Amino acid sequence: MSSDGYRYGPYRDGPDPLAPPVDLREAVDEIGRDVMEGASPRSAMDELLRRGTEATTGLDELTRKVWQRRSEIQRRHRLDGTLQEVQRLLDEALAAEREQLASDPSDDARFEEMRLDALPPGTAGAVSDLADHEWRSQTGRDNYERIRQLLGEELLGARFEGMKEALRQATQADADRVGAMLADLSDLLAAHARGDADLQDRFAEFMRRHGEFFPENPSTVDELIDALAARSAAAQRALNSMTPEQRQELAELSQQAFGDPRIAEQLSRLDEQLRAARPGEDWSSSSRFRGDDPLGLAEGARAMTDLSELDALAQQLAQSHPGARLEDIDLESLERQLGDDAAVDARRLAELERELSRQGVFERAPDGSLRLSPKALRRLGETALSDVVRALRAGRGERDTTAAGAAGEVTGSSRPWQFGDTQPWAVSKTVQNAVLRTASAGRPAVRLDVSDVEVAETEHRSRAAVALCVDTSWSMIAEDRWLPMKRTALALHQLISTRFRTDALQIITFGRYARQVELSELVALDGTWEQGTNAHHALLLAGRHLRRHPGAQPVVLMVTDGEPTAHLEPDGEAMFDYPPSPLTLTKTLSEVERLAKSGAAMSVFRLGEDPRLEAFVDLLARRAGGRVLAPDVDGLGAAVVGDYLHSRRG
C-alpha cells in the first residue's frame, strides 16, 4: 500500500502493459521443425501449445495438474462429516446427561435413564426423540442445541455461498430471517416460472430485503437462479455420492435444523423449483470419495463444485471442440484450483496463440490450406543458418562464415538495415535519417535510432546459378535424414537470399520423379512411399536451370542416400529397376558429363555407408570433375553451405 492509499498487485485487466512483447522465435522454430517432419501447421501449433515452451507450462502439463487435483480431492475426503459431528455431539450430550442423572437418587432420574436407554439406535431417530427432552446437564443442553444449529448451517451452507459461516452462533431471530428469505425466494421463483410482468421489480425488492444472503450480488433473476441452481445441484451430487443409509439419516436429521422442520420443507421446495428452472444442471451424477478427512454437507457441496469446475477446466484445456480457443479458458477457475502460476501460464499460451496469428506466421495457400508464411520461413532459415555457422566455426576454426564472400563493390546506393546484414553502414544517409526523424518530431537533440540505420549496397564481382538437388525417396525418411535435408535447404536459401542476393537458387527434389519446388513447398513436403531415386531427372532439371542463367557461375549440389534406380524415358515416364539397370546408370552419367562440359562445379553429398552408393558417387564425381563429401546427418548443412562457399570462391 502506498502513502496515497493505492494498492499494488498483479495486473488482471487484460494483457500486462509493462510485460515484454511475446518472443515468437522459439515458437516458430518448434512449429517449423514439426512442419518439416510432416505435421500440418495447425497441428504443429497445437502440439506446441500442448508441449509448452521453456518459459511456459503447456496444456498437457496443466491438464495433468487438473486431474491430479481432482484425484487428490477424492482420495483425501469422505462425505459423512456432518453425520460424524452430529454423532459425536450426541454421544457427549448423552454421556454428560447420564452422569448428571446418576448423581440424582430420585425415581424421576431413574425414569429418565430408562428413557435414554430406550432411544432408537440410529442417530437421526435419537435426535428426534430428544426434541422434547428436558436436559439436566449443561453439556447435554449445549450439545443438543449445537446439533440443531449445525444441521441448519450445513443445509443452508450447501445451497447458499457463505451461509454456513454467516450463521455461526445464529439466534432464533436469525433463523426467522432465514425462514422469511426462503419463503420470499420461493415466491420469486414461482413468479419467474409464471413469467410475471413485474418480475424485475419483485427481484429488486427481494434483493433490498435479503441481499445480505447473496454475496454474488446478482443483477437479474436469471443470474440469481444460475448461482442457486449450480450450488443446489452440487449439494444433490454430494448426496448422490453417499450411501442410501447416510442419505436417509441426513433427510431425517434435516427436520431438526434450527429446531424448525419448516426450514427443511422450504429447502426441499427450493430444490424442486431450481431443478425445474435449470434442468440442464448436473443433478444426477455422483463421485467416489475414499479418504479419511470427513466433510460436512456444505463442504461436500463445495467439493462437488470443485470437481465440476475441474472437469470443465480439463475440457477447456483439451481444446477439442470446434472453434476452441485458449482465450476461452476460465482463468479465474484455473487460478482458484491450481494457483497463480497456472493462470499465468494459460494467459501466456493464449497470448502466444494470438500473436502467432496476428504476426503472420501462417498464411492461406491457393488451395485453402494453411502454410508457413515467408516471414516464418525466414525465421527458420536464420536459425538453420546460425546452426550451420556454428558448425563451420567448430569444424574448421574459421572466422564468421556468414560474411564469407559477402563483401563486394559498393554500388553507391543504400538500403535500410535488416537483422543479419554485415555490409558497412552508409553513414551520411544514416545521420540524415536521424536528423529528419527528430526534426519532424520537434525534438532539439538528434538521437540515433536503429530505424535510421542504412547499409551500403554492394554487388559481387560474379554471380552463381545454384541447383540444390535433394533426394526425397522413402529411405530419407526411414533413416531420419528428412529433417536435416530440409534444414540444409533452409540454411542455403537463407544464406543466398541475404548474403548473395544476385545468385539464383533452384531447389529440386527427386524420388521416382524430380521437380522444381519453392522453399515453402519443400518445408511442407510430406514423405510418401514410392520406389525410385531418379537422379537422372534431377540433373536434367538442374541443367535447365543453369542454362537460364548463362552468365552465372554454375553450381550443382546433390544430396542423396541411394544409388540411382530410375531414369526418365523420352515420353516422360520414369522407369524403375533395382538393382540399377545399365541404362539408368548410363543416362545418369551422360547428364553428369553434359553438366561438366558446361563448366558446372558439382558436389555430391553421400549419406549412409552403402558400398554400392559409395562406388557410384565416386564414379560420378570423377566423370564430373567434382567432389564427394560424406557428412553425417548433423553435419549435412555445414557441408553443403561450406561447399557452396568453396565453389563460389573458386
* 3-33 tens-digit pLDDT: 455 555 555 555 555 455 556 777 777 777 7
Query: What was the pLDDT predicted at 12?
Result: 52
C-alpha distances (whole Å) from 614 to each of 196, 246, 460 are: 90, 80, 36
Residue labelled with grid coordinates 450411501: 243
Query: What was the pLDDT predicted at 549?
Result: 92
Q: What average pLDDT does the structure give for the chain?
A: 83
**Does residue 91 carry a pLDDT above 90?**
yes
Query: What was the pLDDT predicted at 397?
Result: 37
**Does residue 406 carry a pLDDT above 60?**
no
Query: What was the pLDDT predicted at 18?
Result: 45
Stated pTM of the model:
0.65
Q: Which helix (H) or strand (E) element contains residue 411?
A: strand 409-416
Give mean pLDDT, residues 321-349.
87
How far the first Cα of the chain sits from its last, in Å, is 71
- For 611-648, the pLDDT digits (tens) are 888 888 888 778 777 888 888 888 888 889 888 888 77
**Does residue 563 carry a pLDDT above 90?**
no
DSSP 3-state of 566: strand
Extents of the domains making up the chain: 28-76+311-372, 80-288, 411-457, 464-648
- Provide the angle, in degrees to the nearest 10, between the axes of the packed helices 59-76 and 331-338: 50
Q: How many CA atoms lie within 13 A of 2 on its CB side?
A: 5
Question: CA-CA distance, 83 to 243, in Å (whole number)?
Answer: 12
- For 465-515, the pLDDT digits (tens) are 999 999 998 888 888 888 889 889 988 998 888 888 889 999 999 999 999
**Strands, DSSP E only, in 291-408?**
293-294, 362-364, 370-372
Residue 213 banded pLDDT, cuts 50, 70, 90: confident
In CATH, what number does 464-648 get? 3.40.50.410
CB atoms within 10 A of CB 297: 29
